[in-house]
Amino acid sequence: MLNLILLEDEAVLRQELAEFISDCGYCVSAVADLAGFHACYEPARHRIAVIDLGLPDGDGMELVRTLRVQHPQIGIVVFTARNTRQDNVRGLNDGADYYLTKHTDLDVLAATLSSLRRRLGEPAGTLQWILELGPRRLLPPDGKAIALSHQDAIVLQVLMSQPECIVSRRQIVQSLGENFLEYDQRRLDTQIRRLRRKTEQAAGLPLPINTARNAGYRFFASATVRP
């Protein structure tokens, strides 16, 4: 799992962004200010930085310039409320790979991170995951079989049958035999969280499912479904 450091001083937004980016398949270190960034940042570990500019202890743009000079290999996404054309041009010229404003839909942020990840040469997921429907079990790469509930198996079948594609919430819910208009969407979110936790605990690996906000989910690794 690729390590990413997030710098955002507003607590609620920092938590929301950290959870969203984690759901997209990244290991997130979230910090609130420049001091926290410098204390947490490890060049050998963090491949991408998402940086706010208006910070309580300085200007994030100065951090962007410093990172670009001292650690040119890092991917940098500015995520800020500063939305003028001049700010955008200055941010890109001073070292950011991408410059996004905070009114940007989070799906665009997810796509931006995926694009940057590919440019950095980081595979989204090259190891094979196998779902066996008969015995209802998931076989992670080089790991022990993970027993699944009936609903777990159905959800994974829908996602793993279309790897690298966003599968809509409607399609997943209907595969469970439920009426989409009457279904409580929180049940699906809970199921995905439970699957992630089960896989992490059993195999020590993150389950390669990320969230397409307001759309559905995507299995982003090589996958095979067996009867």
Both 8 and 77 in a single domain? yes
Both 60 and 166 in a single domain? no
Q: Between the CA atoms of 59, 103, 92 and 33, what dihedral angle is there, to the nearest 10 degrees?
A: 20
Domain boundary pick from 94, 119, 144:
119
Q: Can you read off the two tokens belonging to residue 138?
A: 């998931």
Domain of 135, CATH number, reads: 1.10.10.10
Both 114 and 195 in a single domain? no
The residue among 149, 109, 129 whose CA lies nearest residue 220 is: 129
Alpha helices in the chain (DSSP H): 11-23, 34-40, 60-70, 85-93, 106-119, 150-160, 169-175, 185-203
Both 92 and 6 in a single domain? yes
- Contacts for 203 with CB less than 8 Å, ≥ 6 apart: 140, 143, 144, 146
Both 6 and 114 in a single domain? yes
DSSP run (H or E) holding 58 = strand 58-59
Q: Is 152 exposed, middle or buried (0-12, 13-18, 19+ CB in 10 A)?
A: buried
Q: How confident is the model at residue 220 (pLDDT cuts 50, 70, 90)?
A: confident
64-92 pLDDT, tens digit per residue, is 999 999 999 999 999 999 999 999 999 99
Both 104 and 6 in a single domain? yes
Q: Is the pLDDT of residue 16 over 90?
A: yes
Domain of 46, CATH number, reads: 3.40.50.2300
173-185 pLDDT, tens digit per residue, is 999 999 999 999 8
Q: One-letter amino acid identity for 113?
A: L
Residue-level pLDDT at 123: 53
Both 148 and 216 in a single domain? yes
Residue-level pLDDT at 210: 83
On whether the pTM is more than 0.75, the answer is no
Q: Is the pLDDT of residue 36 over 80?
A: yes
Q: Can you read off the two tokens belonging to residue 110?
A: 């997810």
Q: Can you read off the two tokens belonging to residue 68?
A: 């670009």
CA pair distance 65, 218, nearest whole angstrom: 34
Backbone angles phi, psi at 153, to 5 degrees: -65, -40
Residue-level pLDDT at 2: 85
- Contacts for 64 with CB less than 8 Å, ≥ 6 apart: 51, 76, 78, 91, 94, 95, 96
Q: How confident is the model at residue 225 (pLDDT cuts 50, 70, 90)?
A: very high
Residue-level pLDDT at 126: 52
What is the total count of domains within the chain?
Answer: 2
Domain boundary pick from 119, 145, 179:
119
Residue identified by tokens 């910090």 is 31
Both 112 and 134 in a single domain? no
Both 55 and 72 in a single domain? yes
Backbone angles phi, psi at 105, to 5 degrees: -60, 140
Both 114 and 144 in a single domain? no
In 10 A of CB 169, how many CB atoms? 17
Confirm if 76 and 64 have CB atoms less than 8 A apart: yes
145-166 pLDDT, tens digit per residue, is 999 999 999 999 999 999 888 8
Both 86 and 170 in a single domain? no
Structural domain including 212 reads: 128-226
Domain boundary pick from 87, 119, 151:
119
Both 15 and 90 in a single domain? yes
